[in-house]
Each structure stands twice: as structure tokens, then as C-alpha cells.
Amino acid sequence: MKYFQPELETMSAADKRALQSERLVKTVAYVYERQKPYREKMDAIKLRPSDIKGIEDIWKLPYTVKADLRAAYPFGMMAADRKDLVRLHASSATTGKLTVSGYTGHDIDVWADCAARSLVMAGADENSIVHVCYGYGLFTGGLGMHYGAERLGAIAVPASAGNTQRQLQLLADFGADIICCTPSYAIYLIEEIEKAGLKPGRDIKLKGGCFGAEAWTEEMRADIERRLGIRACDIYGLSEISGPGVANDCEYKRGMHFQDDHYFPEIIDPDTLEPLPVGERGELVITTLDRTGMPLIRYRTRDIAALDDSPCPCGRTTIRMKRITGRSDDMLIIRGVNVFPSQIESVLLKHPDVRPHYHINVDRVNNLDTLEIVVELSPEAFSDTVADVEAIRAKLAADMASGISVTAKITLVSPGTIERSEGKAKRITDRRVLK
């Protein structure tokens, strides 16, 4: 079994807990001294750094939310001195200010190590060519996987996002064996590969990939693997914590290995904020254990997931995170029923007559919530008769009602109708917020 850092990825439970405890105690003392927002939060509940004896005390610490980061914009959450910061990233925002994240050289090194671990899980080694078509810039995706490839000793191709025809040319000419991008963009690339008459294995040499930055389903993974002939691994990260590499699938695909020597995960009930036991699904909370530029304590990610501490056949002892099914802040409530876009996608991907390009429209008509799902027909189904297409629509509507417990209007459109995204796919228009 190939590892990047076996001494850390296969630690015993006792050694892991000792390391986590040592790092948490140091981090709490560090943030209390150097981050005013944390000092104020801890003082408000009469919590002293000396009260934290080990990782078992993490529940005593206050939560951090994105509003805290925006309130401290731009540098109020930085713990390191300005001279020690080497990088600033920021997450995109549709409202309010950006959330800025500062990195020291140490933080970049840790991030590169974790991204390299992820690439190895996807099948990369020092002889690989890694095609990175995440965006470069303030978004962490491109630079994160780029540094991970270089840390591994592989060749990084900084293709960035966009210019799909050039992407195809680079993939064919350079012979990359690993690709990093969003799963929705992977589907788009596959369509363009097929249109160009290129053959995976002959013209496209990919054997694995790290796909993340948006929620996706096992059905979409299977579709990508079947059509590209690769190992498609789920990767997780967020700019506030460290970007991609916080967690990643191994070849057994039994959940993403959380790099818990650097990032400690918890699952909480998003309503009561009480910690949940391993195995139960709730909101993911992360504490950085040895970050120096901008440590975060119990950061509420809003991502909905569950943890799994059962042994993995790969031999890694890092705790695993089951697939993220949505976000606590983008969950749709339709006529009192909780609906996640990933549930809708899961139903769609079980139908061979439609493609995984869809858009969700939510509205309110006569004080009643309405749900419309616009989805593209496959080229083969588009050529069918009107009666056949109506049968597809009726079957999809019935399966959707069963799968999400809400009746939805299904609108079938021709292939290529729905706008493609070179980054995160924009899936939802909720018109209720405008009324």
C-alpha cells in the first residue's frame, strides 16, 4: 500500500490522540494570546487556556461562524505577525464581505503535504503528470493541488479553469494521468472529449482524479469513472481552513480520510449545537490543530456529513468522513419537507435518458411552494417521439416524488440547453427570496 507520510497516516489511536491533544493545547494558548475575537469569546464564558487539557476538552470551546470572519475583515482574525504571512486567500461571496484567510510558510507546507496525500489516494506518484483545472487565484483549489503535486515530486500542469478546447489538447498532448477539477466540470469535459472523438485510454491517459468544491453523488462518480475509465476520488477542503486536501477518498471509497493530525472534525446537531456521536449525520465542525497564520476553533462549515472510525482496508488510521449530502444553509424547505440538491441529483442520475445537467427553480404561487426541476435529455432520448419523451417525464416525476417526498414539475430540455460551469455549478434559483 502506497502512502505519502506513512508515519502520520497510519498512527495508532493512542499516538494520534496524544498528538491531537498536544496540538490543541498549544493552539488554544496561541489564539488566546494573539487573536482578540477568540480571547473575547473565551473571556465571555470564563474559559481559560489552562482549562483545555487535551482533545477531550474541545467541546468547552466556543464555535466560530463565517460572520465572525466577515466582522474581522480583512485582518482581524490573523494570529501571525504581518511579516510572517506569505499568502492571502479569500472565499467568494454573493452578499457581504469576503472571508479572508492568511497563511504562513508553515501553513503552506502543511497544506501541500495534505494535498500530496490526497493525490496519492487518487493514484498519483512522483512520475505523475497532474492536470489542475481548478481556478487559480483567491480560490484555493488551483494552488492547493498545484503545490500538492510539486510536493509529491510530480509534474503540475497549471491549466486553471476555462478554455475547454485547450484543456483537451493539453490532456491529449501532455498525457496527464491525474486530473483535479469540480465534478460538474469533469462531466462537461467528458462530453467534449466524446464530441471530439477522443478515446480514454488511447488519446486521454487519465487514470485518476480528485473532484471536489461542490456536492456530488455516488451516481455521478460512477458516471465519471465509467466514461473516463478512471478512479474518481472525492476531495474536501474550504478556504477558511486550508483548501483542498483536508480529506480525500482512498481506492476503497469508504469515506474520505480526514487529515486529523492537522484538522480535527466534529459533527454537531445544527439546531441544538450539541455534539453527535460518530456515525450520526449532522453539521461538520473543524478545528485547525497546528495552523499559525489564522487558526480556527470549532469552525461551523455548514456542510452536512457523518464520521466513520471503523478500520479501512487501505491501512490508514485517519478518521473518515462520509459523503457530504448538502449544507445546512442551502437546504431547501419545500412545503415543510427538507430537500437537498444532492437528493435530486441522485434520482436524476439513475435515469439513463437524462444527463446530469439540471437546474432547480423554487417559487411560491398562491402561498404554496412550487418546485421545478429542469433537466437535459440525453441525445438518444431527445430523438425519441413525443410520446416516449412524455413517458420519460412521467417516470422521472414519479421517482422524484418517491425519492424526495415532494411533488416536482419535471421540465425536459434538449442537450446543451443548461449553462455549463467551469467552476462550481449554480444549481438553484429560489424566487421566494425575492417576494
Q: Residue written as cell 445537467? A: 357
What is the spatial distance between Cα 301 and Cα 69, in angstroms, rounded to a whole number?
12
What is the spatial distance between Cα 306 and Cα 292, in angstroms, rounded to a whole number?
28
pLDDT for 96 equals 53
Domain with 404, as residue range(s), is: 332-434
Tell me the mean pLDDT in the region 199-225.
92
In this structure, the answer to whether residues 179 and 228 fall within a common structural domain is yes
In this structure, the answer to whether residues 211 and 357 fall within a common structural domain is no
In this structure, the answer to whether residues 156 and 180 fall within a common structural domain is yes
- Condensed to tens digits (0 to 9), the pLDDT of residues 157-195 reads 999 988 999 999 999 999 999 999 988 889 889 999 999
433 falls in which pLDDT band (50, 70, 90)?
Answer: low
What share of the chain has pLDDT > 90, as a percent? 71
Show which of 308, 328, 348 is a domain's final residue: 328
pLDDT for 369 equals 83
pLDDT for 419 equals 85
In this structure, the answer to whether residues 312 and 336 fall within a common structural domain is no
Name which of 265, 194, 240, 292 is nearest 100 in CA terms: 240
Q: In which element (H, E) is residue 157 found?
A: strand 155-157
Contacts of 336 (CB under 8 A, 6+ apart): none
- Condensed to tens digits (0 to 9), the pLDDT of residues 118-135 reads 999 999 999 999 999 998
In this structure, the answer to whether residues 337 and 318 fall within a common structural domain is no
Tell me the mean pLDDT in the region 205-221.
90
H helix count then E strand count, the chain:
12, 21
CATH number of the CATH domain containing 159: 3.40.50.12780
In this structure, the answer to whether residues 378 and 324 fall within a common structural domain is no
DSSP string, 25-62: HHHHHHHHHH-HHHHHHHHHTT--GGG--SGGGGGGSP
423 falls in which pLDDT band (50, 70, 90)?
Answer: low
pLDDT for 94 equals 41
Name which of 186, 180, 133, 171 is nearest 152 in CA terms: 180
pLDDT for 66 equals 87
pLDDT for 92 equals 58
In this structure, the answer to whether residues 319 and 362 fall within a common structural domain is no
331 falls in which pLDDT band (50, 70, 90)?
Answer: confident
Tell me the mean pLDDT in the region 249-277.
96
pLDDT for 95 equals 42
The per-residue pLDDT of the chain, averaged, comes to 92
- The answer on pLDDT for 225 being more than 90 is yes
What b/e sequence results for 109-127 when a residue is b if at least 16 CB atoms lie within 10 Å of its CB, and e otherwise? ebbbbbbbbbbbbbbbeee
Give the predicted TM-score (pTM) of the model. Answer: 0.82
Tell me the mean pLDDT in the region 327-332.
74
Tell me the mean pLDDT in the region 274-278.
96
Contacts of 220 (CB under 8 A, 6+ apart): 183, 187, 345, 349, 356
Classify 175 as helix, strand or coil: coil
In this structure, the answer to whether residues 139 and 287 fall within a common structural domain is yes
pLDDT for 333 equals 76
Find out whether 375 and 354 touch, Cβ atoms under 8 Å.
Answer: yes
In this structure, the answer to whether residues 34 and 88 fall within a common structural domain is yes
Q: Residue written as cell 504581518? A: 82
Contacts of 139 (CB under 8 A, 6+ apart): 89, 91, 92, 239, 423
In this structure, the answer to whether residues 184 and 213 fall within a common structural domain is yes
pLDDT for 61 equals 98
- Condensed to tens digits (0 to 9), the pLDDT of residues 285-305 reads 999 999 999 999 999 998 999
Name which of 145, 125, 121, 130 is nearest 320 in CA terms: 121
What is the spatial distance between Cα 42 and Cα 181, in angstroms, rounded to a whole number?
39
pLDDT for 313 equals 97
Contacts of 135 (CB under 8 A, 6+ apart): 141, 142, 160, 161, 422, 423
Show which of 328, 361, 384 is a domain's final residue: 328
Mean pLDDT check: name the lowest of 209-213, 218-222, 306-310, 336-340: 336-340
In this structure, the answer to whether residues 155 and 239 fall within a common structural domain is yes
CATH number of the CATH domain containing 412: 3.30.300.30
Tell me, what DSSP letter sits at residue 230?
A: S
- The answer on pLDDT for 434 being more than 60 is no
Show which of 310, 328, 346 is a domain's final residue: 328
Q: Where are the beta strands (DSSP E) in 255-353?
A: 256-258, 263-268, 282-288, 299-305, 307-308, 320-321, 326-327, 332-334, 337-339
- Condensed to tens digits (0 to 9), the pLDDT of residues 14-41 reads 999 999 999 999 999 999 999 999 999 9
Q: In which element (H, E) is residue 72 found?
A: none
Name which of 133, 308, 140, 290 is nearest 209 in CA terms: 133
Tell me the mean pLDDT in the region 253-282.
96
- Tell me how many domains the chain contains: 2
In this structure, the answer to whether residues 288 and 387 fall within a common structural domain is no
Find out whether 114 and 291 touch, Cβ atoms under 8 Å.
Answer: no
- Condensed to tens digits (0 to 9), the pLDDT of residues 372-391 reads 999 999 988 888 787 889 99
